[in-house]
Structures are given as C-alpha cells and as structure tokens.
Amino acid sequence: MWQERLEKIKVLMLDVDGVLTDGGIIMDANGIETKRFDVQDGFGLVFWRTCGFRSAIISSRQSAVVGHRANDLQIDKVVVGVYPKISTYESLLKEWNIKDEEVCFVGDDVADLKILKRVGFAVAVANAVLEVKSVAHYVSTKKGGEGAVREIIELILKAQGKWNPELYGL
C-alpha cells in the first residue's frame, strides 16, 4: 500500500516530545529537565545512519537533553525551540537538496501538521492526537518513547530491501 512512497524516502525527520519520548517532562526542584528515551529507537537510528540516510530533529521545545541524545545518536541536524516548524523544514529541504516526497516525518501533535501534510510519508505515533492521525499515511502500532521510531525505520528499510539484522550484529 505504501511501497511506492517508502521506496523514495531518504531522510527521516522527527519531533521529540511524544515521539522520541513518551511526552512526559521531568523537572527537578532546580528546574533541571530530564527525558526518557527508548533504546530500541536509538538503535534504529543507528541502523538508519548505517544505511547512509540522513536524520533530523525539529522540536518546538528548547531542551539541552535533546541535544545530548541527538549527539549520542549522530543525528545530522537538530533544531529545537522553533515554532512554527515549517520554515525549518523548508530550510532543510534546500540545504540537503531534497524533495518533499523523499522525507518521512514522525509527529504527534498539531505543531507537526504543516510538515506532515507535505512529506512523502507522514507518520503519526499511536499516542498522537486525532488531527495528526487523520493526515498520516501511517499510524504506528507503538507509542512515542516506546519503540515507534524503530518501527518506522524498520518499515522503511524493509520496503527498500535494506533491512538486514545480520549487518547490524543481531
């Protein structure tokens, strides 16, 4: 059903809160923020990079924690604290010389709608709001922060014939 769309994908762009995390924000008494990330999502992003694909994070919230996790996973571009997100998305298209149909974006809330309506493969995580699910090409079976990103990466790599668990040491 999505085979033709998936075959064109070269770039994975992600929201953070509710996609790479469960959407919870933990702050201590000093205002220091922490987030919980899923290790399988992280490993999926390593697979993605190993296949030679680019990735980006576009988040409305400013968060130092996101920068640390993105650096750990070698995400190609991280833009946080931007709203609306669409101008950042358009800048990345130009910078990387890619087209809408070559992008998969994974989102969960209304701040993601303008991008989701443009990309080649729009994904809503299982815990996304109804408005996001209604424009998505695919709704993940897993929730954000619980393996949804890994699910999407496997879906794309399998569709492109690039899923090879032995290559990743599994």
As beta bridge partners, residue 79 has 58
- DSSP, collapsed to helix, strand or coil, labels residue 59 as strand
pLDDT at position 40 over 80: yes
Mean pLDDT of 31-46: 93
Q: What is the CATH number of the domain that holds 153?
A: 3.40.50.1000
How many domains does one find in the chain?
A: 1
**107 within a domain of the structure (yes/no):** yes
Give the list of residues 6+ apart from residue 73 with CB closer than 8 angstroms, or none: 42, 45, 46, 49, 55
Average pLDDT of 33-57? 95
- Helix and strand element counts for the chain (H, E): 7, 8
Per-residue pLDDT at 1: 74
| In-domain check, residue 27 | no
pTM (predicted TM-score):
0.95
Query: Could you list the residue range(s) of the whole structural domain that residue 108 is in?
Result: 3-22+33-163
Kindly state whether residue 153 falls inside one of the protein's structural domains.
Answer: yes
More confident residue, 27 or 104: 104
For residue 168, what pLDDT band results from cuts at 50, 70 and 90?
A: low
Residue 151 forms part of a structural domain: yes
